[in-house]
Structure 1
Amino acid sequence: MNTIKVFIVRENDGSYSSYMDEQANLPYGLVGEGATVAEAMDEWNRAYNDMKNLFEEEGKEFVEAQFSFAYDVPSFLLYYAGKLTFAGLSKLTGISAAQLSQYANGYRNPSPKTTQKIQNALHAFGNELSQLQLV
Structure 2
Amino acid sequence: MKKSVNIVVEKASKGFSAYVPELPGCITFGDSLGEIKENIREAITLQLEGMKEDGEEIPFNLQEEFTIELNLDVAQVFNLYQSINSSGFAKRIGMSQSLLSQYVNGLKKPSEKQSRRILEGVVDFGRELSHIKI
TM-score computed with the length of structure 2 as normaliser: 0.74
What is the rounded CA distance, in whole Å, between the counterparts of 2:20 and 2:47 in structure 1?
Answer: 14
2:44 aligned residue (48, 64, 77): 48
The letter of the residue matching 2:19 is Y
Residue aligning to 2:18: 18
Residue aligning to 2:77: 76
SS at match of 2:110: coil
The letter of the residue matching 2:122 is L
What is the rounded CA distance, in whole Å, between the counterparts of 1:71 and 1:85 in structure 2?
Answer: 18
The letter of the residue matching 2:15 is S
What is the rounded CA distance, in whole Å, between the counterparts of 2:115 and 2:47 in structure 1?
Answer: 33
Residue aligning to 1:129: 129
Residue aligning to 1:5: 6
The letter of the residue matching 1:34 is G
What is the rounded CA distance, in whole Å, between the counterparts of 1:113 and 1:55 in structure 2?
Answer: 36
TM-score computed with the length of structure 1 as normaliser: 0.74
Structure 2 unmatched runs, 5+: none
What is the rounded CA distance, in whole Å, between the counterparts of 2:90 and 2:84 in structure 1?
Answer: 10
What is the rounded CA distance, in whole Å, between the counterparts of 1:18 and 1:72 in structure 2?
Answer: 12
What is the rounded CA distance, in whole Å, between the counterparts of 1:35 and 1:10 in structure 2?
Answer: 10
Displacement, 1:131?
A: 2.1
Give identity over the alignment, percent.
Answer: 25
What is the rounded CA distance, in whole Å, between the counterparts of 1:59 and 1:106 in structure 2?
Answer: 41
Moved more, 33-42 or 111-120: 33-42
The letter of the residue matching 1:107 is L
Indicate if the aligned counterparts of 1:73 and 1:103 stay in contact, CA closer than 8 A.
yes
Let me know the Cα RMSD of the aligned residues.
2.6
The letter of the residue matching 1:10 is K
Structure 1 residues 46 and 131, CA gap change in structure 2 (3 angstroms): same
Moved more, 69-78 or 42-51: 42-51
Question: How many residues are matched?
Answer: 127
Indicate if the aligned counterparts of 2:37 and 2:68 stay in contact, CA closer than 8 A.
no
Moved more, 69-78 or 96-105: 96-105
